[in-house]
């Protein structure tokens, strides 16, 4: 990856080996530990606008999940299990333990939110609080897909197509695809919300064919192993036990469901939540409101 602007001045850089990947991360701040997980098609850089405020209250751990950013790119395996949210959650657990954090808070945006709730379900002893940002559970997203949502969120089915179809098509114009996709998910339908230095990070990451493939594997896992894991938990009545704050963009895709808060209350025992005036990228489109909501929640948990 090209040398581009450091948007986390004063933060340490680390690389930590897990059972199946090498995870790149940044750490900084003081206070109780908070793991921040990015989504598609982003990297850890998506949090750069809110970390200065959060770092005054929390010890932040901000990784690139496997296949994204500067972390390693394992092979997908049978049913794309190497990119299942259960496997990614295990990476996160090993990272946090390596840093000495046995119990921690976790906030996850988009795909990172799916890693985060799998962490909360699979390892309740480790997660003290959970914040999903602009998602509903994977099983609910598939189950509630309507004709309208299928058009708006077409990438779920497109990226889950068998190799090499999506990789081949995206690879013809990766930066153009990235820019169009990101703009389409904002409230303003353009790129004005993004710092140009952050865009440079995302474009560099998304210009690597191996990482385009990894992101497709992420979505293939969403249609196979992730969906199966969610359905097993739903059928068994398993619920997230820790305090939870659901945040979503007032102009994001989850806002078009019968209600993100209503849906999450079927999956968790202690849920509160609210919309933020934003599209999909809350931490970049509406950083002050997003940071304030997080800190208010942490203060009461």
Catalytic residues: 110, 280
Closest CA to 174 of 218, 204, 151, 135: 204
153: phi then psi, degrees, rounded to nearest 5: -110, 45
Per residue, the 3-state secondary structure of 7-28, as one string, reads CCCCCEEEEEECCCCEEEEEEE
Residues with Cβ within 8 Å of residue 138, at least 6 apart in sequence: 85, 114, 222, 226, 227, 230
Respond yes or no on whether the N-terminal peptide bond of residue 41 is cis (omega within 30° of 0): yes
- According to DSSP, the residues that pair with 12 across neighbouring strands are 27
Strands (E) in the chain, as ranges, are 12-17, 22-29, 33-37, 59-63, 104-109, 127-133, 244-249, 271-276
For residue 256, what is the DSSP state?
Answer: G
To 5 degrees, how large is the angle CA 19–CA 41–CA 168?
A: 90
Closest CA to 70 of 45, 100, 91, 95: 45
3-state helix, strand, coil in the chain (%, to 5): 45, 15, 35
């Amino acid at each position: 990856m090209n040398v581009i602007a450091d948007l986390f001045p004063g933060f340490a850089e680390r690389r930590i080996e897990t059972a199946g990947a090498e995870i790149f991360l940044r750490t900084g701040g003081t206070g109780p530990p908070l793991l921040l997980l990015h989504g598609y098609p982003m990297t850890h850089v998506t949090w750069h606008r809110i970390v200065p405020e959060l770092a005054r209250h929390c010890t932040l751990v901000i990784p690139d999940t496997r296949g994204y950013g500067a972390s390693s790119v394992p092979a997908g395996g049978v049913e794309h299990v190497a990119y299942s949210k259960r496997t990614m959650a295990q990476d996160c657990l090993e990272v946090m333990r390596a840093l000495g954090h046995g119990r921690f808070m976790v906030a996850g945006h988009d795909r990172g939110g799916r890693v985060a709730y799998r962490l909360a379900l699979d390892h309740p002893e480790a997660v003290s609080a959970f914040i999903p940002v602009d998602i509903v559970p994977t099983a609910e997203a598939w189950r509630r897909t309507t004709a309208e949502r299928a058009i708006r969120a077409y990438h779920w089915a497109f990226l889950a197509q068998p190799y090499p179809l999506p990789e081949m098509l995206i690879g013809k114009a990766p930066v153009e695809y990235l820019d169009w996709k990101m703009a389409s998910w904002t409230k303003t339908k353009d790129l004005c919300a993004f710092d140009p230095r952050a865009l440079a990070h995302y474009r560099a990451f998304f210009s690597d064919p191996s990482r385009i493939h990894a992101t497709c594997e992420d979505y293939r896992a969403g249609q196979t192993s992730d969906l199966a894991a969610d359905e097993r938990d739903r059928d068994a009545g398993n619920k997230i036990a820790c305090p939870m704050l659901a945040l979503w963009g007032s102009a994001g895709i989850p806002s078009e469901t019968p209600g993100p808060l209503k849906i999450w209350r079927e999956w968790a025992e202690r849920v509160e939540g609210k919309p933020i005036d934003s599209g999909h990228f809350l931490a970049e489109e509406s950083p002050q409101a997003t940071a304030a909501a997080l800190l208010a929640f942490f203060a009461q948990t």
